Structures are given as C-alpha cells and as structure tokens.
Amino acid sequence: MSNPNPRDVQVLQIATHTTAFRARSWTRLRFEIEYALARGTTINSYLIEGDKIAIIDPPPETFTAIYPPVLQQHLDLKRLDYVILGHFSPSRLATLKTLLELAPQITFVCSLPGAANLRAAFPDKDLKILTMRGKETLDLGQGHQLKFIPIPSPRWPSGLCTYDQQTQILYTDKLFGANVCGDEVFDEDWDVLKDDQRYYYDCLMAPQATHVQAALEKLSDFSVRMYATGHGPLVRYGLIELTKSYQTWSRAQTEREITVALLYASAYGNTATLAQAIALGLTKGGVAVESINCEFAQPDEIRTAVDKADGFIIGTPTIGGNAPTPIHTALGIVLAMDNNSKTAGVFGSYGWSGEAIDLVESKLRDAGYRFGFETLRVKFKPDDVTLKLCEETGTDFAQSLKKARKVRLPQTAATPVEQAVGRIVGSVCVITANQGEVSTGMLGAWVSQATFNPPGLTVAIAKDRAIESLMHPGGKFALNIMPEDNHVDYMKHFRKSFLPGEDRFADFITDRADNGCTILADALAYLECSVNKRMECGDHWVVYATVDKGKLLKPDNVTAIHHRKSGSHY
C-alpha cells in the first residue's frame, strides 16, 4: 500500500513488553546500490519494557524530527535506562543527540568498537556506556534477560546482535533484512519476499560471506522464534527457510574458485558506497569477494587476503590532498609483497582534488601491476548512473579474471548432450530496460511465451549481465523482436563486450516506449513488459513477465531465429 507521507513511524506490539517502532520511508532514502529496487525501506527500532527499559537501534537523522515525538507518546523518556546499538553509524548521531537531551540518564549498550566510536562522536559528554564482548548479560527484569553476540564485519566492525530469553526474539541488526516499505509488519508472505531478501544479501552480505558464516555459527546456539530485523518485515514465518538460504548463499560465495580482495577506507561514506556497488558487480560476475575495511583490519588480514586473491582493488577517499593512513598502510603491504602478477584496480571519491586516487594508481603502475579497468574517480556523492557504472566495472573485472583462468584450461569439444541442447532455437530479440537515468540492453535468444491469460513470457538472463539488476519484480522492459532480413548487425553489436557505462544504442535509430524503455526502429515488433517473478536457475535467472502493450511494426517480415551448435554457450 502506498502512503501520502514520505516518512512515518508505525508502532505495534510484537511480544510481551515489546514494541516495534518502524520508521518507514516510502521512497528511496538516498543514492545507494542497496536501494536500487526503489521499494523504500523500514528502519526498525524496538522498545523492551521490563523493570528497566531499553531501546534497540534508534533510526538515523532522516527520522530525528518524527521518531522522538512518537516514542514519547508511548514512554516517559525520563524512565528510559538503555539505548542498545546493533552497529554504530554517523547517520544516527542526530537522533542519539536528541535522545541524550531528552533523557540524559541513559546508558549506551554496544560493542567495544561501538563504544570507541561513540566517545569520539561525543567528546564533550561523559557518556555512560556498557561494552558487550560476548559473555555479558543485561537483566531488564520481568524475565527479559538480554544476551549479546558480537558479529563484527568489514562493513560494520561494531556489529552486535541482541537476544531476549523471555520472548526468544533475536535482534539481528543488519542480518536477514530487506529494503521494503509497507504495512506488513511480519513476513506472512515470506515466499514473495525472497527476491528482496536475496538482493539485500547480494548487496550487503555477499562481500563479507565468511563473516556472515561466522555470525550464523554464533547465532545457531540460540532458540529463536523471531528475527527482529534492522530493515524490512520482521522474520517469523520464513525464519528457517531464510536462515538456510543465508547458509547456502554464503557457502556458494566462499566456494568460488576465483577471489578478489576489495580494500577500501571511507571518510564520509561515499567510497564505501562505491565499494559496495563494485562488490555487487564482482559477485554477479561469479567471483568471491573478500571485502576489507582498512580502517579496522590488521596488517596480517590485508596481507593474507591479497596473497590468496587472483586480483585486488583499492578504494580511497582524498583527505587534505592525501590518502588516509589505513590506505597508505594497505598500499605498503601490497607493494612489499613483490608480486605484480595479480590484476589490480583503483577507485575513489573526492571533494575537490582527488590526489589520493592518483597516488595509489601511480604507485601500482610503477610497480608493474596490470589494471583490470580504468581508474574510477567520483566527485562528491555518487548517483544512480555512477553506481551502475561501478557495478558493471566490478562485473567486467570478474569476467577478465575468469577468462584468464579459462585460457589456461584445455579446450574440449561439445559433448553429445551439449550438441543436442544446442538444437533448441529461439527468436532473436534485443531486451532493453530503463530505471531513472540508467539505460541498458542485451541480445536475448532465450525468450519464450509462457502464458495466454494474462499474456506472459519468460526470459533467461545470465547472472553477470548488466541488465539483470533492472529485471526484478516490478521492473519494466521492452522486448524488441528482430526480423530475419535485418538482424545480423544487431547480433554482432550486442554480442560484443561493452565498456562499463557505454551507450548500447548510440549506433541505432531508437524511440521510447510508453514504459520508458528503448524501442529499436528496425524491430519487427516490440512488447512492453512488467516483471512479475523471477527464479534462480543455475547460472541464469529466469524472469516471468506479463505483456502490457505491444505493436507489430513490420507485418510482412519473418522473425529471426538463432541456431547454435552447442548448448554450453550462446
């Protein structure tokens, strides 16, 4: 259900003495790859009222104006004892400052890194802080005995889960979330949420899969009936299935043959956002990503990650005309390893000059490293087009590593099964999709009508295709069906490798469909489609879409057909 207010706070009791305050944003909060599906989000906060009273995870500054007044309607803040932080974020400081003004008596409960960040953020205040290292408990009374589980990761070094023995609720912070905004508090339709939960995992968790596995192992010791997530619906009905999915997805990531070490530091969050987009592209490209925040990593961790990786990428901000100390440390470790056979990449964000990016690039070039992509320099906060560029850059980097590995493998003839499968033919189509300022397209021959009523079709899309991230439920695309007498140039063009961000349609006459997607003037016919469902099938996604509109442009022409000799490639 849509909401006329761009932001609000939904309040609902979810268990004994336990209330959820769901800060809802019905539109995208900001430019970040995790919000690319544009479904809004909920940022969940929780209130536990025993003899003592605790709040878990107050929302960020975008809700500072509306969250405290709603909280005050349900609680006299002078009675508030604790504020528990599942992770530290600078975006929360405005809300925490307001809470301190309204309730100066509060004690913060957080991990050791979280405590250090809090003290640095409020240097003039004598904060009361309880640090949780994993063995401590907090008794709120009325049976609410809280246990704390540190789950540090490169993205959230201060990560901390909270478990309430009384309600058997696990407050999971960033784990098991989904960026979805709606009136549904729980995951009754958990099967429908799968796609959003998977996208959230791929964006945020896949680059730190080993840390996710470690967290899952710790959490398996607790008897849990509900995940009180940091984002999206609370997980109650699909808890077992989602936990198994996290285990499966993480295992698949860590078992990949090719690994990329992604090293970065971030001053204002922009470089971390770029790293997140590149990591998503690397994941789509089929390689494992070892994401390392150099601000919190030990030298041995950096050295080990780079040593075992097939390639590495370094991201840096520019601070005062230079790279921050953690990047200098990481760069020194890489150069001291004296092994320039690995493929490298450099990216970064800057406000005015960007010298740090040039420094890292020049040092690696002088050391003889081969670069997998042109250095990415992004000024100020990245927009959607830039994030898509970063995603495609990551995918290209992954594909180059995989091609290099394949070159060393012996080539074999197609098997009888592959030859037989290759005899399945399909129409030659160009699939186009737009989202905001992002526009892309691909050649598609794996298209088939799927339903009569409503008229629908299926499209198989390789996981590493640039268009894949625009083909989620709710997305729009156009299917351009090409004619037999004029399709060869289109096949040659869309089969080639495009540079990240390259305009796929610059050489062709095009028009715009009503759904905003590109129509090719030479097409025999086109269909405007809406993605309804998608299913993961091996190395492809199979997308089911319904046809909204269509037009036959060349009634006398025949559809072009693609014939293959092997079922192992296009």
The architecture (CATH level 2) of 256-405 comes to 3-Layer(aba) Sandwich (3.40)
CA 372 to chain centre: 22
Residue 411 is predicted with a pLDDT of 61
CA–CA gap between residue 154 and residue 264 (Å, rounded) = 10
- 105: buried, middle or exposed (CB in 10 Å: 19+, 13-18, 0-12)? exposed
Residue 29 is predicted with a pLDDT of 54
Structure tokens at 361: 């690039």
Q: Decide if pLDDT at 37 tops 90.
A: no
Top pLDDT among 192 and 163 is at 163
Mean pLDDT across 431-457: 92
Q: What is the rounded (10 degree) CA torsion for 289, 293, 296, 301?
A: 40
Mean pLDDT across 393-412: 81
Q: 160-164, 335-339, 406-410: lowest mean pLDDT where? A: 406-410
Mean pLDDT across 434-445: 89
Residue 107 is predicted with a pLDDT of 97
Structure tokens at 501: 């961000």
Would you tell me which CATH number, out of the four given (2.30.110.10, 3.50.50.60, 3.40.50.720, 1.10.1040.10), belongs to the domain 418-562?
2.30.110.10
pLDDT tens per residue across span 445-477: 899 999 999 999 999 999 989 899 899 998 999
Please state whether 526 falls in left (phi above 0), alpha (psi between -120 and 50) or beta.
beta
5 — pLDDT class (breaks 50, 70, 90): low
Q: 30-34, 447-451, 523-527: lowest mean pLDDT where? A: 30-34
Mean pLDDT across 523-549: 94
Q: 7-11, 41-45, 228-232, 381-385: lowest mean pLDDT where? A: 381-385
pTM: 0.87
Mean pLDDT of the chain: 92
2 — pLDDT class (breaks 50, 70, 90): very low
Residue 57 is predicted with a pLDDT of 97
Rounded percentage of the chain residues whose pLDDT exceeds 70 = 98
Residue 368 is predicted with a pLDDT of 95
Q: Are 531 and 471 in contact (CB under 8 A)?
A: yes
pLDDT tens per residue across span 90-130: 899 999 999 999 999 999 999 999 999 999 999 999 999 99
The closest alpha carbon to 11, from 45, 39, 41, 55, belongs to 45
566 — pLDDT class (breaks 50, 70, 90): confident
End-to-end Cα, the chain, rounded Å: 41
DSSP type of residue 63: G
Q: Decide if pLDDT at 175 tops 90.
A: yes
413 — pLDDT class (breaks 50, 70, 90): confident
Specify the DSSP element, H or E, that contains 209: helix 209-219
Domains in the chain: boundaries: 7-253, 256-405, 418-562
Query: Is 7-253 assigned to CATH 3.60.15.10?
Result: yes
Please state whether 543 falls in left (phi above 0), alpha (psi between -120 and 50) or beta.
beta
Q: Are 151 and 132 in contact (CB under 8 A)?
A: no
Residue 30 is predicted with a pLDDT of 59
Q: Decide if pLDDT at 414 tops 90.
A: no
Q: Are 29 and 41 in contact (CB under 8 A)?
A: yes
- Quickly tell me which residue has 């091609």 as its tokens: 403
Q: What is the rounded (10 degree) CA torsion for 83, 86, 87, 90?
A: -40
Structure tokens at 353: 């000059």
Which residues lie across from 430 on neighbouring strands? 443, 480
Residue 381 is predicted with a pLDDT of 87
The closest alpha carbon to 207, from 277, 300, 157, 295, belongs to 277
